[in-house]
Amino acid sequence: MSRVIAVANQKGGVGKTTTSVNLSACLAAQGRSVLLLDIDPQGNATSGIGQEKKNIKVCIYDALINELPLKNIIIKSVIKNLDLVPATIQLAGAEIELVPTMSREVRLRRVLEEVRDLYDYIIIDCPPSLGLLTINALTAADTVLVPIQCEYYALEGLSQLTNTVKLVQKHLNTELRYEGVVLTMFDSRTNLANQVADEVHNYFGNKVFKTVIPRNVRLSEAPSHGQPIIVYDERSKGAETYIELAKEVMANEQKAAG
């Protein structure tokens, strides 16, 4: 059975997509089979691993709303062991179309049942909201991974996120746990970044990953080439740290099993 990890934070621009794409690619490079699932209508994870949205005929929308089998939507990526379920702007409608449907919060969990034996990891890149798409991801997931950007207002809104996780644990998915919290775009030269890191540690304690993702220009350039960082610049600090993060995630799983 795969481990399903939802990468979530309702704030935009905190590193969800960068983390989803690069964690997926690094887990794949470590020999694990990975499915990257894009559920953000902006489709940044989809283009981030080199899929042109204009060429995509069916996306996760068709599985959630039209009950198209996921196997008909999965695309192989250029990276060995890494497959993608793409998202296009069509998915924007799902947030509203799901509202009156039966079992609207568990749609994604059911969709994923079909492939849970096929992958070691399923990584879900969530949209920047706590709407039904993110709720579906949290309901389908074993764990939630929260990227936090080391900037002003980093902790603002975090209680909303942790409350949503609590509500999902209570009503929809009692097994949901935290994979961890990862600090992103960290700049050790600034007092602010260090201050934010301290506050996040106070708030989340041992849930914070040891690996900290630095602010790294190569990480921000890679998506425009449609490449994960380990392909775009294997020697960059960004590549190095996302490989470390992948190793921590794999170690988490061994801890959970043992």
Q: Summarize as ranges the residues that interact with ligand ADP (CB under 6 A).
A: 12-18, 44, 128, 184-185, 213, 215-216, 219-220, 223
CB 140 within 8 A of CB 39: no
Q: Which does 56 bind (CB under 5 to 8 A by kind): Mg ion, ligand ADP, none?
A: none
173 CB burial (10 A radius; 0-12, 13-18, 19+): buried
CB of 63 to ligand ADP, least distance (A): 21
CB of 174 to ligand ADP, least distance (A): 27
Q: Which does 223 bind (CB under 5 to 8 A by kind): ligand ADP, Mg ion, none?
A: ligand ADP
CB of 131 to Mg ion, least distance (A): 14
Tokens read off for 45 = 């994870």
Which residue reads 């746990």 in tokens?
177
Compare residues 122 and 239 and give the one whose CB is closer to ligand ADP.
Answer: 239
Q: Which does 31 bind (CB under 5 to 8 A by kind): ligand ADP, Mg ion, none?
A: none
Selection from 1, 6, 52, 22 nearest residue 244 by Cα: 22
- CA angle, 23 then 24 then 25, to 5°: 90
Compare residues 115 and 197 and give the one whose CB is closer to ligand ADP.
Answer: 197
Asked if 44 interacts with Mg ion (CB under 5 A), we say yes
Q: What is the dihedral of CA 52, 230, 148, 169, to 10 degrees?
A: 80
Q: Which does 32 bind (CB under 5 to 8 A by kind): Mg ion, ligand ADP, none?
A: none
Residues that bind Mg ion (rule: CB under 5 A) add up to a total of 3
Residues 113-172 that bind Mg ion (CB under 5 A): none
CB of 125 to Mg ion, least distance (A): 6
Compare residues 15 and 43 and give the one whose CB is closer to ligand ADP.
Answer: 15
Asked if 11 interacts with Mg ion (CB under 5 A), we say no
Q: Give strand pairing partners of 121.
A: 3, 34
The answer for residues whose C-beta is within 8 angstroms of residue 209's C-beta and 6 or more apart is 180, 181, 182, 183, 245, 248
Q: Which does 14 bind (CB under 5 to 8 A by kind): ligand ADP, Mg ion, none?
A: ligand ADP
Q: How far apart are CA 174 and CA 232, in angstroms?
A: 39
Strand (E) or helix (H) holding 124: strand 121-125
Q: How far apart are CA 134 and CA 139, in angstroms?
A: 8
Q: Which does 216 bind (CB under 5 to 8 A by kind): ligand ADP, Mg ion, none?
A: ligand ADP
Only one of the segments 12-20, 25-33, 57-65, 75-83 lies at the binding site for Mg ion (rule: CB under 5 A); that segment is 12-20
CB of 257 to ligand ADP, least distance (A): 29
Selection from 69, 83, 87 nearest residue 34 by Cα: 83
Applying CB under 5 A, the residues found at the interface with Mg ion are: 16-17, 44
